[in-house]
Amino acid sequence: MRKCRKILAVMLAVVMAIPFAIPAMAASYLDTEGHWASDAISRWSDLGVVQGLDGYFRPQDPITRAETATIINNVIGYVETAANTFSDVPADAWYADAILKLNKAGVMIGGDGVVRPQDRITREDATVIFHRAFGVKVTGVEPMNYGDVATISGYAADIIAQMSTIGYIKGDGVNFRPKDSITRAEIITLLDNMVGLYITEAGTYSGNYGKKYAIVKSGNVAVAGATLGGAVISPNVGSQSVNFGNGTQITGNLTNLASNAKIATTGATVAYATGVNLSASGAGTSSAPSIIGGGYSGGGSSGGGGGSSGGNSSSSTKYTTYFYANLPEGKTGGWRNSNGIYKAVYSSTNKSNATISSFAPDNPRCDGYEFEGWYLSESAADVLNNSKRATLSARSSKGLCLYAGWSRKAIPTFEVSTSNSLLGKTAEELMDDVKLTADEDDDALYLVKGKLNYIDSFADFSSIPVQQQGHYLVLDLELPYDAKDVDLEDTVVTYEGENGEKTFADFTEDDYSLTTIFRITDTESEITYTIDFDGEGDEYEEMVYTFDLTELELEILETVVTFGVSESDDLLGKTAAELMTDVEIEKDDEDRDNHIVTGALPYVDDFTAFSSDVAQQKGNYLVLDIELPYEDIDVTKAVVTYEGENGEKTVTGFTNEDYILTTIFRITDTETEISYTVDLDGEDAGYQPTTFTFDLSELVLETPPTVLFAVSVSDDLLGKTAEELMTNVEIEKDGDNYIITGALPYIDDFVDFSSNSEQQQGNYLVLELELPVEGIDVTQAVITYEGENGEKTVTGFTESDYTLTTIFRITNTDTTITYTVDLDGEGTEYQAATFTFDLSGLSLLSLS
């Protein structure tokens, strides 16, 4: 018989924005089709709780604390807002309202004055916040069996144990990974696991929602005959009514957040309540329901027919139950006693403990068949009619005759592909010594070992660029085409991984092999195949095979880029020589990703092309080149983020002809480092994103010339000379303070000093200020000088007029004078500085 092979590609879905409006139609995203969380994402998108952006949802992206707060606020509908005490929550931030409402409700608390809204939220913190929001209460908390339970924070341990016990969360099969970021898909799945009934309109609601919650956001609501794990009454209910009526069972907590709402629980059973007076409303409380479980006993081989006997329900009455293996013709196995029939006999005096399960034999076994349970008739067992399946927890009041039901079992074969034709790739290119090993204790579990090579150009795998690079596992499934009675045309195979689920049907006798290519990520711990040979799980038991990927190595390629100091002569109108002097980069001996920058940066005051902001057009500038390894990778997928004190910028969209990035940084004296984060494939898949740090502590920043002060020695001071006005006057610098000593003779005829006769006699000090004309444009300078006799501001200097001579009339009450110098007139680039002149050491002479 000719063997044919199908090749199927299982794609990773590719980003989520927080929504505020209910879509007009069912949400459909380009990157969630086939994703394991697609149903939950569509459901909560349709309800207006979350929404994608530009047709994408980004299910595998991490989610921030701010986005998580917005989702919970959308679900619960908080009303009251806390005062903003967080230094990292700007009042106009899009997330401020949600965070402050959750803070008021005690759901998102923060600490040390911050709440870290833009941080990725961890799996343990997300669990804690959802637990608080829903007011979860659990009885019978089970110990956690996660391998990394010791790494769970103390504040989260008990909550994670509760949430795991009730089934709202789970780990990856081995670990919980508490400190990992939770993804957008996972946060929506957590929400979907917790909420079964979402009420936004008045009406009557019922149904069995198991351990899931009801969220009630509308008044005039009646819940009758419902089973719920808990309920939250939203503040949106206001003062309207919500009634949990007859037959409703709430096994967890009923939380009322609407203080004025009229909540009734008459006829309902509520385990816990917060904000609801159960006794006043006539409701009862209950503990967790008991679970009746029974074991099996017995053993043996096949058996034949039989009957039943019974009697009245008296203390002496005994009831006999016969169990028949009812094996198909020609098959062996099962169980039997010496008579070929297993009989269980019990008296009515034991009936309180004598469930059928107390006497049922161990599961019968038969090669090629699976035991499905005990049935009330032979015909029911033949067709597996579950409406006539025996309830083993029941207590019989008469004799029974029970028949074993069997389903066919055919064994498929799994192998790692060795094909040379896998959508243009070979198995050898994709996989390195990958092997499947069956688990010794579980024949449905396989361990996958080996290494997956990183592929950056798998164009035929998907039309989505982000799916064309990564790690790929190829498995072959061969159906047992020669097994008796297996009709492959009815067979249905469903395979599922973190990146989605796909079902394949319509096999034929000439087409019984399936080759599947999975794109594997580092967060994916297993994939599964579910096989149903007759398509309905009736005759052949539906089988699930699990492939454990925890020991599968994903090749991580080193990020290699080249950094250098630019030598370009075309840097926005400047040259490297103008901007930098002897600047060099040297790798740190102890940290290969750290670089030490040395040399000097001249002060530049006319870099107009650098920025439209005048303040950015003056300063010190460092120019670095980064060169991507274009010969080894496809640089069109690269993402480079560079960051310094003055901001962060991300660059994408390189081309194979454009692989060098030149970056000009404006450096300040408070800036100690800048960094580049380089991800050569743009999604943390094969190339490890690497951050390169540049230490600027040894970089010299040249500053503009400073202003100079001196005592005047001029012979032309409004008709007087410096010698006439001052005797042995000197200035001594003390930081930004100047101490003036010497003597000022008394002048009684200084008619040119002022038209005011009182100002024409006294003591006069003459100071000169010289601007640094070589370093700046003095036409922008503003000088303000001030003494006891007033204040004056001077502007409008020119390049030929850069010295200011000032004559002060000094009195014996005048202790200081000041100059405030702003070299660019706005205090933006040059720091406006005030210089003080201490006159306490100056002698004022009187008229002799």
Please give the Cα distance from 833 to 588 (Å, whole number). Answer: 39
Strand 400-408 vs strand 369-375: parallel, antiparallel, or unpaired? antiparallel
Please give the Cα distance from 799 to 793 (Å, whole number). Answer: 19
Q: Is there a contact between 125 and 67 (Cβ–Cβ < 8 Å)?
A: no
Q: Please, what is the Cα angle at 252 between 250 and 255, to 5 degrees?
A: 90
Residue 492's nearest CA partner among 483, 505, 481 is 505
pLDDT over threshold 60, residue 316: no
Q: Strand, coil or helix: what is 619?
A: strand
Q: Per-residue DSSP letters for 149-164?
A: GGGS-HHHHHHHHHHH
Residue 7's nearest CA partner among 531, 517, 495, 529 is 517
Please give the Cα distance from 372 to 380 (Å, whole number). Answer: 12
> Which pLDDT band, with edges at 50, 70 and 90, does 481 fall under?
low
pTM: 0.37
Residue 483: what pLDDT? Answer: 52
What the block records as the tokens of 88 is: 């990292």
Residues with Cβ < 8 Å from 93, sequence gap 6 or more? 66, 117
> Which pLDDT band, with edges at 50, 70 and 90, does 582 fall under?
very high
Arithmetic mean of pLDDT, 145-174: 90
What the block records as the tokens of 837 is: 């002149």
Q: Per-residue DSSP letters for 472-540?
A: EEEEEEE--TTSTT--GGG-EEEEEETTEEEEEE--BTTB-EEEEEEEE-TT--EEEEEEETTSSSSSB
What the block records as the tokens of 612 is: 């439209």
Residues with Cβ < 8 Å from 54, sequence gap 6 or more? none
Please give the Cα distance from 7 to 423 (Å, whole number). Answer: 8
Q: Per-residue DSSP letters for 593-658?
A: TEEEEEEEE--BS--TTT-SSGGGGSBEEEEEEEE--TTTS-GGG-EEEEEETTEEEEE---BTTB
State the greatest distance between any 2 C-alpha atoms of the chain, in Å, as a whole number. Answer: 147
Q: Measure Cα distances from 347 to 318, 393, 734 in Å.
A: 4, 17, 110
pLDDT over threshold 80, residue 410: no
Residue 435's nearest CA partner among 452, 415, 455, 421 is 415
Residue 434: what pLDDT? Answer: 93
> Which pLDDT band, with edges at 50, 70 and 90, does 734 fall under?
confident
The H or E element containing residue 794 is: strand 790-794
> Which pLDDT band, with edges at 50, 70 and 90, does 694 fall under?
very high
Q: Please, what is the Cα angle at 370 between 367 and 376, to 5 degrees?
A: 125
Please give the Cα distance from 193 to 213 (Å, whole number). Answer: 9
Residues with Cβ < 8 Å from 498, sequence gap 6 or more? 12, 36, 521, 523, 524, 525, 527
Residue 381: what pLDDT? Answer: 76
Chain centre to alpha carbon of residue 201: 32
* Neighbour-count burial for 289-325, b at 16+ CB within 10 Å, e otherwise: eeeeeeeeebebbbbeebeeeeeeeeeebebbbbbbb
Amino acid at 624: L
Q: Measure Cα distances from 783 to 240, 399, 645, 768, 780 in Å.
A: 70, 112, 31, 12, 10
Strand 782-787 vs strand 816-822: parallel, antiparallel, or unpaired? antiparallel
- Per the prediction, the chain carries an average pLDDT of 80
Q: Is there a contact between 62 and 36 (Cβ–Cβ < 8 Å)?
A: no
Arithmetic mean of pLDDT, 469-498: 77
Please give the Cα distance from 501 to 474 (Å, whole number). Answer: 16
pLDDT over threshold 60, residue 512: yes
Q: How would you list the strands of the sheet with 5-10, edge to edge?
A: 5-10, 513-520, 471-478, 413-416
Arithmetic mean of pLDDT, 161-186: 91
Residue 679: what pLDDT? Answer: 86
Residues with Cβ < 8 Å from 807, sequence gap 6 or more? 717, 718, 725, 753, 764, 765, 766
> Which pLDDT band, with edges at 50, 70 and 90, does 313 fall under?
very low
Residue 413: what pLDDT? Answer: 85
Rg (CA), the chain: 41
> Which pLDDT band, with edges at 50, 70 and 90, does 340 fall under?
very low
- No. of H helices and E strands in the chain? 11, 45
Arithmetic mean of pLDDT, 106-121: 92
Would you give the DSSP letter of residue 165?
Answer: H
Q: Is there a contact between 232 and 252 (Cβ–Cβ < 8 Å)?
A: no
* Neighbour-count burial for 612-646, b at 16+ CB within 10 Å, e otherwise: eeeebbbbbbbbbbbebebeebbbebbbbbbbbee
What the block records as the tokens of 776 is: 């700046």
Q: What percent of the chain has pLDDT over 90?
A: 38
Chain centre to alpha carbon of residue 121: 5
- Give the torsion sign (CA, 38, 42, 43, 49): positive
Arithmetic mean of pLDDT, 547-566: 84
Q: Which stretch, 25-34, 293-302, 727-736, has highest mean pLDDT?
A: 727-736
Would you give the DSSP letter of residue 358?
Answer: G
What the block records as the tokens of 843 is: 């002698």
Residue 343: what pLDDT? Answer: 55
What the block records as the tokens of 240 is: 């309207």
Please give the Cα distance from 555 to 552 (Å, whole number). Answer: 10
Residue 30: what pLDDT? Answer: 83
Q: Measure Cα distances from 302 to 331, 332, 377 in Å.
A: 9, 7, 17
pLDDT over threshold 80, residue 592: no
Q: Hey, how many other C-beta atoms are within 10 angstroms of the C-beta on 734?
A: 9
Q: Is there a contact between 706 and 831 (Cβ–Cβ < 8 Å)?
A: no
Chain centre to alpha carbon of residue 558: 25
Tens digits of per-residue pLDDT, 48-85? 899 888 788 888 989 999 999 999 999 999 999 999 99
What the block records as the tokens of 604 is: 């530049």
What the block records as the tokens of 77 is: 């509908």
Q: Is there a contact between 778 and 771 (Cβ–Cβ < 8 Å)?
A: yes
Instruction: Assign 3-class secondary structure to 213-273.
Output: EEEECCCCEEEEEEEECEEEECHHHCCCEEEECCCCEEEEEEEECCCCCEEECCCCEEEEE
Residue 312: what pLDDT? Answer: 34
Please give the Cα distance from 170 to 512 (Å, whole number). Answer: 36
Amino acid at 39: D
Q: Strand, coil or helix: what is 738?
A: strand
Q: Is there a contact between 174 and 525 (Cβ–Cβ < 8 Å)?
A: yes
Q: Which stretch, 74-78, 169-173, 491-495, has highest mean pLDDT?
A: 74-78
